[in-house]
Amino acid sequence: MSTDPLLIERQGAVETWTMNDPATRNALSDAVVDGLLQACTRAAQDPALRIVVLTGAGGAFCAGGSLGGFARLIGQPLQAGETDPLLAMNRSFGDLLHALCDLPQLLVCRVDGPAMGGGFGLVCCADHVVATKRSVLGTPEVTLGLPPAQIAPFVWQRLGESAARQCLLQGLSYTAAQALQVGLVNEVIEEDSDGSWQQTLTRLMRAAPGAVASTKQLLRQLRCPVSDVRDAAAKAFAQGLRSAEAAQGLAAFARKQAAPWAMPALTPSPQERA
């Protein structure tokens, strides 16, 4: 099996981009983000390409951001005069979200298993999302002491303000059926089989490529554009990751314990139960 962090397979007018790090549930490492950015740049100049399929290997879509070599910075304040390496790392992910939304081709997410945090943000960029029944999609950042910074505008655009507030501020997770109800997912299938997937591609290929590109451009002009908060989001994320909250939240998550700010469920008093 290939160890490349991003696998690209071309079949006619359809290209599949597979995030390929099953050990981390396809977390968004620098290599994955850079590879996807390069793929977006190339695809934007490819008139023969009609559909881009974004998926993950090994029974997971994407577990979200990968801290990688930045783990040592969690909870550590920035030193005076130091340029924070977290800024460029997080800003690159914001660049990727914008690039995915700007693709002239149909962008289809093929979700099987978890799509969390940054993976949830990727899903929000898609023109069409197919998920298996076992898929779970969520934004757990605030429960870990972090802001869902770069994905927030895209979640807001996909779900609308009310649902986005509920999702982002509570760190909610959705089953595939729930995601279908709120409009995050467009199709739910029993399992990720080539047969059901081919039916979806056949239907999507009915759309003419030039008309698709033109329509996507019109839609970007008609609706309120996503605010470009990439720099502010990178700063908010970097500050969040260096905070004591993030150190406590991520440590609690690693121990499978509740974060210190999480209140236990209230037990009714005997008088309230009476």
168: confidence class by pLDDT, cuts 50, 70, 90: very high
Q: Is the dihedral of CA 38, 39, 44, 45 positive or negative?
A: positive
> How many CA atoms within 13 Å lie on the side-chain side of 169?
7
Listed residue (214, 129, 120, 218) closest to 172, CA to CA = 120
How much is the pLDDT for 106?
98
pLDDT of 250 > 60? The answer is yes
Q: How far is it, in rounded angstroms, from Cα 234 to Cα 236?
A: 5
Chain centroid to CA 199:
25
Q: How far is it, in rounded angstroms, from Cα 167 to Cα 157?
A: 13
**Which tops the pLDDT comparison, 229 or 273?**
229
pLDDT of 271 > 70? The answer is no
Q: What are phi and psi of 174, to 5 degrees?
A: -120, 140
Q: Which of 46-55, 237-246, 264-273 has the highest mean pLDDT?
A: 46-55
pTM here? 0.92
How much is the pLDDT for 132?
96
How much is the pLDDT for 266?
57
221: confidence class by pLDDT, cuts 50, 70, 90: confident
Are residues 127 and 158 in contact, defined by beta-carbon separation less than 8 angstroms? no
Q: What are phi and psi of 207, to 5 degrees?
A: -85, 130
pLDDT of 265 > 80? The answer is no
pLDDT of 131 > 60? The answer is yes
Average pLDDT of the residues in 61-65: 95
pLDDT above 70 covers what percent of the chain? 94
pLDDT of 226 > 90? The answer is no
pLDDT of 255 > 80? The answer is yes
Average pLDDT of the residues in 133-141: 97
> Among 97-111, 158-172, 225-239, which stretch is predicted with the lowest mean pLDDT?
225-239
264: confidence class by pLDDT, cuts 50, 70, 90: confident
| Angle of CA points 24, 29, 31, to nearest 5° | 125
Instruction: Report the chain's C-alpha Rg in angstroms.
Output: 20
267: confidence class by pLDDT, cuts 50, 70, 90: low
Enumerate the H helices of 49-189 as residue ranges: 85-101, 118-124, 152-159, 161-170, 176-182
pLDDT above 90 covers what percent of the chain? 77
> Among 162-166, 179-183, 262-266, which stretch is predicted with the lowest mean pLDDT?
262-266
66: confidence class by pLDDT, cuts 50, 70, 90: confident
How much is the pLDDT for 224?
59
Maximum Cα–Cα distance for the chain, whole Å?
Answer: 71
* Strand runs labelled E in the chain: 6-11, 14-19, 51-56, 106-111, 114-116, 128-132, 136-138, 173-175, 187-189
Q: Taking phi first (over 0 means left), then psi (-120 to 50 degrees means alpha), and beta for anything else, what does residue 176 get? A: alpha
How much is the pLDDT for 78?
84
Average pLDDT of the residues in 156-174: 96
